[in-house]
A and B are shown apart, each in its own frame.
Chain A
Amino acid sequence: MRTQRRKTQSVLVAAATVAAIALTGCTVGGTAPTGENGDAALTILVSESPNLTAQYWDAAIARASAKVPGVKVTKVVGENTPAYAQQLFASGQAPDIFAAGIANGLAQQGKLAEYTRKELEDAGITDFTSGTINGKFYGVPTGAQAIPLVYYNKDLFAKAGIAGAPKTYAELVEDAAKLKAAGIPAFEIGGGGKDTWAAEFGLVSAVAADVLTKDPKWFLKRGNDEVKFTDPEFVGAAQKIQDLVKAGYNDPNAMTRPYADLELAFLSGKAAMYPMGSWFSAAADGKKVTNLGVFGWPSDQGKAAIPTVTGAGLNVNAESKHVDLAKKWALAFATDKENLDSSAITDGAIITVKDYVYPSNIGGLFKESIAAYEEAVKNNAAVPAWANITGDGALPPGFGDVLIAANVDLLTGAKTPKQFAEYLDKQYTVALQK
């Protein structure tokens, strides 16, 4: 009996020990991370893509680390989106730095460190027009994108007897008709499956031209309920897009093409015009395509819409053990000349850092995109890229996906422009309430 009791006790002690070890292993957190030589160890979340390869990131990280002693930065590859960032924070795995802008939602919860205006100005930042959350900066705005511009195939235009880019909306429609008569689809507007986002750039362009060139603060007003999607100017812009598609000016096969195929279709001459973000110029120049031009979608009055957004990436985790060092490193990364050059050449980023000079080997189409952007900024004609801005002035969370889905109904005729606008108004209210 005594032997049995001792055996039982031994088994229980062993089981308790195993359980304690297992529970200790599950504990989150620990001592402040340090690398070799006592360097502060930081992690940065990046997203690898055909434009931003693993080699690009490794080299960029190494350059920034060379400028900030006492830091060892390790790359973590994942999806650089606000939703994924939320998951990382919830599971205690958030890195110290996020490469791309994920501030919306996290900044409001106090999870991101704030950059002061002075810190940014001292680092050479000049563009403070976008990327704020409640007026504060949580990222480093160094690179703008025009989303979208309209890229066009000069050879196809010449084949249809069109001399140059249209200056007014009426000319745009006329050119589309000439292209159709020549057997050429005028537009490559589409995107299938998870790439349906690409199909909204026709609508984004038309709204930018017809609504935002007259009132750049229209979407801020929508947020305050001062205007509605059912107002005539928005419905009119939606009507124009639906009319273009109904008239047969869009490539009929575009709607189900994945993004990569969409881009390839335009580059191989399957359509003449392609509303797309300015990052496309990097892809076209990279493939040595030289017969493309670019213009801003024109309004009836001839004002070219250049919707722009300056990305405010390099958000720093407020819970990082080395916040100040992480911010210092992030600023060094963001303003490193070679990183900026890389960003310009591989991703078509229009650099907004003071005294920045583009490298001599940038492509011709990218140069034209920069020129269009700089002209718009100079003439006060740059409007917000309303479907892509984050933070202040952005569409409510979740509404972007609603817009993308409803836009397909507009393009296919499943919804009339008025029904489309009514649906957006209703869903906007729902998105604010969620």
Chain B
Amino acid sequence: MQTSLMRRLAPRNALYFLLFAVPGTALFAVFVLWPLLVAFASSLTNENFYRVGTSFVWFENYGRLFSDPAFLQTLRNTVILTLIVVIVPNALGLGIAVLLDRVGWVFNAMRAVFFVPVVLSSVVVAVIWQQMLKDDGIINSSLRSLGVTDPPGWLSDPSLALFSVSGIVAWQAVGFCVVLYLAGLQSIPKELLEAASIDGAGPVRRFRGITWPLLAPSVTIMMVLSLINGFKTYDQVKVMTNGGPGVGTTSTLAFDVVHTGIDSGAVGYGAAKAAVMFLIIAGISLVSLRIMRKREVDL
């Protein structure tokens, strides 16, 4: 009787399921899937703002990409920036979260302080840091007053500028890592840590044996998000260095896509770069998720 009732209800349940799912699916199709398909189609053409008439060139744009030294430099810059933006905020964020995982108004205030950069616009952050890091900015002026006669060209030295920009992006991300890792730490049952303490485990052993494994889901999320954000870095590069100093020394994938597709008007070629960027981000995210999920433990 129960089975026959469920069988009769199934079509109605399926219908209601569809009605609830359709709006979200429609939005996804219109604002995500359709533009992706249009962009991919554009990447197979020689579409250009400054040229009348567009024709299919199939995979010629993709072939050009990987023999273009400027694009390869951009890829290299993006990998370096992403490595810094993944490792530094996560390591610092976890350390700070461990230190702030205490009760008290001081620790609450410190959490707010660390989170402030996260809520600021990345453009605002970039403008402020550009003022501080320029050759006669407050940082170099302070260094000169301390006797440093030739302070670093944070944004003017081609060998340093990429690390300066990466540092700013990483700095802004630390607060978010702190908050997420704090939430993860506070979800770990205190009894486990107390039991370990009673059994004679010191802080390092407790962290390695209990905290670190149970934090795995938080680490997975933060690593993947940091990876995606690293690959998408645009604002800070545009404001602080405009891809320079010189030719492409701080150009990132996202910057290159905008510059090629919009500033230069080479829509088809820019779309090919965007497609490659999408595939790289999707591929690396999926692989990272797979690897990191393996170390997650359930209580």
Contacts and interface: CB of A to CB of B under 8 A. Distances in A.
Interface string B257-270: 00110111110010
A412 interface: yes
Interface stretch (A79-87, A221-229, A376-384): A79-87
A63 B222 CA distance: 57
Given A193-B130, A256-B135, A261-B134, A105 B244 contact: no
A318 to B, nearest CB: 14
Given A105-B50, A193-B240, A409-B246, A398 B263 contact: yes
Nearest to B266: A434
Contacts of A423: 247
A414 B246 contact: yes
Contact of A192 (B22, B130, B262): B130
A135 to B, nearest CB: 16
Nearest to A257: B134
Contacts of A406: 246-247
Interface in B223-273: 238-248, 259-260, 262-266, 269
B171 to A, nearest CB: 17
Binding site secondary structure of chain A: helix
| Residues of B in contact with A, size category | 35 or more
A160 B5 CA distance: 100
B134 A105 contact: no
A108 B50 CA distance: 7
Interface string A13-54: 001000100000000000000000000000000000000000
Contacts of A108: 50-52
B288 interface: no
B265 A83 contact: yes
B242 A83 contact: no
B122 interface: no
Given A83-B265, A434-B266, A193 B239 contact: yes
A405 B49 contact: no
16 contacts: A11-B19, A19-B26, A83-B263, A104-B50, A106-B49, A192-B240, A192-B241, A193-B130, A193-B155, A195-B242, A253-B136, A255-B153, A258-B130, A398-B266, A402-B247, A434-B266
Contacts of A161: none
Closest 4 CB pairs of A and B: A398-B264, A253-B136, A256-B134, A434-B266
Contacts of A397: 48-50, 264-266
A85 B287 CA distance: 40
A105 to B, nearest CB: 4
A104 B263 CA distance: 12
A109 B54 CA distance: 11
A399 to B, nearest CB: 8
Contacts of A82: 49, 265
A193 B52 CA distance: 33
A69 interface: no
Contacts of A104: 50
Interface string A100-116: 00001110111000000
A359 interface: no
B239 A412 contact: no
Contacts of B158: 412, 414
Contacts of B260: 398
Contact of A255 (B133, B156, B240, B259): B156
